[in-house]
Structure 1
């Protein structure tokens, strides 16, 4: 966790699900207006999420984001024109290790993201409707993930059994150490991405690209993939509903996503600077 500094914030990087977005994946009008106020004050604003680039477009348009955005926990950074600024794929060895660990578990659904494609073998999994609603597009059903091994952006183990995902995370981490990142982006999602794919690296890359010192950046989020950017930002902000271990790693805590916590943070901690 970085120390809060009295410097003006020139760039805010925000998580999406559980942070900017409410539980129904919508943006509140107050949040839209708060981001507009940021932009009018000359503060740069962008997004960092575990989502694929295609699943960010509606929010990018609604918020008027005109900067590069970070998808797949920072594994892919996309310019406003759709071109790639950064792209990191999961090593095939790490992908095979994760897929083998998650296989044949009746309460775990395995999803593979390759570019903008959401790939799965079972389209009838109980978690699929939720993900399709959040992403805004349907999955591609495949018989095997093998043809995609050289271009996997993210693997997700999805389950309502949070304790099982915690166990799988603990088991997978030492198996892919030095090869991949493993984190629970949400309580029901365990993400596996390239080693270079983390929001901290994304924040550093974007700040450098924009010419903003890290001391004048802020980051806000709620999940296990967000402390990586907390540790790099000049000001780190946790959402009110975030687990205690996430809140502990932030400089300040704002309201929950159901209470327009992002807007509260902008109004209280960023604009006054």
Structure 2
């Protein structure tokens, strides 16, 4: 079934009209009351108080002589008290200009093309808005010409001969799915996005020289999806939606009967063909979709995943993201879905920063598998990042700004414990992994977790002399870590070091007073970034401070209970593309 368009007329009484307009523009009316006497001629102007980009066209069109011209309007009048508000919100410049004298029987077509402020400055959208500034008046004139000899039986003829008006006013708003969903919910009580809404503001009983035709709202996000499905361009689809909305404003309604649907479909096809525009009419497209069994998407989140983030402004400048158990699924891989979401986020100007217990080479290795490593990727030797649980922090150009080493005495005690109890141990030193004996679990850290291959040292003293150690990891079963290793080393290290767990079968020993969260804070201070600008995603208890620090902290559902307890949001698991889901849901 073709999505129903909103087709509203304001009530006839002035007081009722005031209530209707305050419902449409509550924020504007609070700050700038509108005199009741001016509502009848400017109600369409206050319908979109949120738009900031504004394209206008003015056509003086003689229906008898056929002469027309198009120019930018800079002298459109606004209600008293609204001029300043609209100038600020829409970048609108008021210019005093003596109106040109019009010839008799000329009809002026005033069209406002608006871009909702949450829609970013995408070059294609700006180009489409400029094209619509020229296209819409042409479509209006052609549609009006057809009304004079119309033989349609089902059309509402309250708008018949527009030649009796001095001016016709229409606005077209381009927005994203979220904006049109809110309108759809507000006016039709249908909580889902749609492609186009049409809102009539014509009041037949008011004998005015101006025909307030109404407003057409188009979601460019839905239009982009439909354009791809139907094999034409985005501007083609938006033109189709605009024609459909325009015909609704002129009294066509395909939902009242089969005959009405056939008549509106015929007029759609006639207009598109006469204008030389590509594509079938919206009614025919909907019929084809039903006939061919095309999927019907109503879930806004699903639509957003399938669409593009270019229709949304980023809510955050940075996303700080953990790796093990977060970016990496249970197979220690980054899925194509997550990689796509990361690319979309970075293409929209959001910087993704890795904050992990891994070494930098391990993070680069994992990202390289999905082509996200290197200068143009997420992580490289030249990008900011927090590694080894905040013990190594790199800023712009990969410059090291912080390093903290573990107490050598703690390192010696841990190495001796490893040899005595045959529990494999890895000592992390910047980009190296050092160990005392071969073991399958040590090998798995390289083959599964992407860490550098372990270098076997001949003795404890050789290991300690080889390099400064930032952290140690004991490898065992999850039960062994919980029942034996963690209790023992929590007591043995006391104030000299801290024990943390990123994954169940590993126990990490790190210097006291340091954490991934402290490393993130240090990097933020160095970059001059506030916590309000960041979103953080993690799963382990080592992510707790980072999630608490961020403006929005997201714990994946596979995470520890301690982590989920401090999170603002609990997202999908790492095996359900939790990072991708978080980006699509919350970053834009």
Q: TM-score, normalising length from structure 1?
A: 0.87
Deviation at 1:46, TM superposition (A): 0.7
Change (3 A) 1:11 1:269: same
Q: How many Å separate the matches in 2 of 1:9 and 1:175?
A: 42
CA distance 1:10–1:147, shift in 2 (3 Å): same
With CA pairs under 8 Å and 6+ residues apart, which has the higher RCO, 1 or 2? 1
Partner Cα separation in structure 1 for residue 409 and residue 443 of structure 2: 30
Partner of residue 77, structure 1: 393
> Which residue among 426, 435, 450 is the counterpart of 1:120?
435
Judged with a 3 Å threshold, the aligned counterparts in structure 2 of structure 1 residues 232 and 103 are, in CA distance, closer, same or farther, namely farther
Contact 2:412 2:460 in 1 (8 A): no
1:1-273 aligned at under 5 Å gives the runs 8-61=315-368, 62-63=371-372, 64-65=377-378, 67-79=383-395, 81-106=397-422, 108-123=423-438, 125-133=439-447, 134-135=449-450, 137-149=452-464, 151-160=468-477, 162-166=478-482, 167-271=484-588
CA offsets 1:17-59 (integer angstroms, 9 cap, x no match)? 1110122222111111211222233222110111112212234
Question: Which structure 1 residue ranges, 4+ long, deviate > 6 Å from structure 2?
Answer: none
In 2, the alpha carbon distance for the partners of 1:227 and 1:254 equals 15
- Counterparts of 1:109 and 1:22 in 2: how far apart (Å)? 24
Q: Is the 8 A contact 1:72 1:197 kept in 2?
A: no
Quick one: distance in 1 between partners of 2:543 and 2:507? Answer: 14
When you count helix as a share of all residues, which structure comes out higher? 2
SS of the residue corresponding to residue 502 of structure 2 reads: strand
CA distance in structure 2 between the aligned counterparts of 1:194 and 1:148, rounded to whole angstroms: 18
What residue is the counterpart of 1:3 in the other structure? none
Distance in 2 between residues matched to 1:238 and 1:24, nearest whole Å:
19
Closer/same/farther in 2, CA of residues 76 and 177 from structure 1, 3 Å limit: same
- Higher deviation after alignment, 200-209 or 81-90: 81-90
Deviation at 1:100, TM superposition (A): 4.6
CA distance in 1, matches of 2:403, 2:560: 30
Q: Which range moves more in the overlay, 11-20 or 222-231?
A: 222-231
Q: Is the 8 A contact 1:203 1:233 kept in 2?
A: no
Q: Helix, strand or coil: the match of 2:412?
A: helix
Question: C-alpha deviations, 1:103-135, integer Å up to 9, x for none?
Answer: 5224x3111112212111221x23123211122
Q: Report SS of the residue matched to 2:353.
A: strand
Is the Cα–Cα contact under 8 Å of residues 366 and 450 in structure 2 kept in the other structure? Answer: no
- Displacement of 1:200 after TM fit? 0.5
C-alpha contact 1:11 1:43 (8 A) present in aligned 2: yes
**Larger-Rg structure:** 2
Query: Secondary structure at 2:472's aligned position in 1?
Result: strand
Tell me the number of residue pairs that the alignment of Structure 1 and Structure 2 aligns.
Answer: 262
Task: Sort the Cα spacing of 1:147 and 1:23 in 2 relative to 1 into closer, same or farther, 3 A.
Answer: same
TM-score, normalization: structure 2?
0.42
Q: Is the Cα contact below 8 Å between 1:76 and 1:197 reproduced in 2?
A: no
- Given that 1:114 and 1:148 are in contact with CA atoms closer than 8 Å, whether structure 2 keeps it comes out as no
What CA RMSD, in Å, does the superposition of the two structures yield over aligned residues?
A: 2.2
